[in-house]
Structure 1
């Protein structure tokens, strides 16, 4: 049986701020934005250049703040120029960690946190 991962859903509190994060920092593109006012929610699908997996942002109009669970860790994104991306994230309003390497090795990743508290691991593309 062929199985392909096609989307990851994140529930968000501030749709505009979240869209800014993913489209301005990471060049994700809005594939579609569907509004369901009768159900009181919006669905926004984001494409990442070069990937076949979408992020589905679910915005519920009347939801209480979400808690990012301790079973979820992070999403991962690769970039060609890790140091440049780190500088861009550090200059932004988003919480950005330092460059790190496993077991003290050469730095090859860092974390940045989106407006809803989801962590994004940014790694050097090999």
Structure 2
């Protein structure tokens, strides 16, 4: 049996702020947007160039604030120029960690936090 991961769903509080984070800070593109006002929710699907996995953003109009689960850790994104992306994230309004390397080695990643508290690990593309 063949399987393929096709999407990851994130529940969000502010769809516009979240779209700004993923499309302006990163290179995600809106693949589709579906609004269901009668059911009080919207869905936005994001594509990342070079990947077949989509992020599904779910915005529920009347939802209580979400808490990021203590079992969830982060999403991972690779970039060609880690240092440039780190400077871009630090210059943004988003919480950005320091460049780090495993076991004190050459810096190869950092974390940035989206408007809903989801952490994104940004890694150097190999």
Please indicate the TM-score interval, normalised by the length of the shorter structure. over 0.9
Secondary structure, in 3 states, of the residue corresponding to 1:90?
helix
CA deviation map 1:20-70 (0-9, x unaligned): 000001110000000001110000000000000000000000011100011
Secondary structure, in 3 states, of the residue corresponding to 2:106?
coil
Structure 2 partner of 1:113: 113
TM superposition outliers: structure 1 runs of 4+ over 6 Å: none
Distance 1:69 1:35 in 2: 26
Q: Which runs of 5+ in 2 are unaligned?
A: none
Structure 1 partner of 2:41: 41
TM-fit CA distance, 1:103? 1.1
TM-fit CA distance, 1:6? 0.2
Structure 1 partner of 2:66: 66
CA deviation map 1:61-83 (0-9, x unaligned): 00111000110000000000000
Distance 2:88 2:64 in 1: 31
Secondary structure, in 3 states, of the residue corresponding to 2:100?
coil
Structure 1 partner of 2:89: 89
Structure 2 partner of 1:125: 125
Give the TM-score of the pair, scaled to structure 1: 0.99
Give the TM-score of the pair, scaled to structure 2: 0.99
Distance 1:31 1:69 in 2: 27
Instruction: Say how many residue pairs are matched.
Output: 126
Secondary structure, in 3 states, of the residue corresponding to 1:34?
strand
Q: Which runs of 5+ in 1 are unaligned?
A: none
Structure 2 partner of 1:17: 17
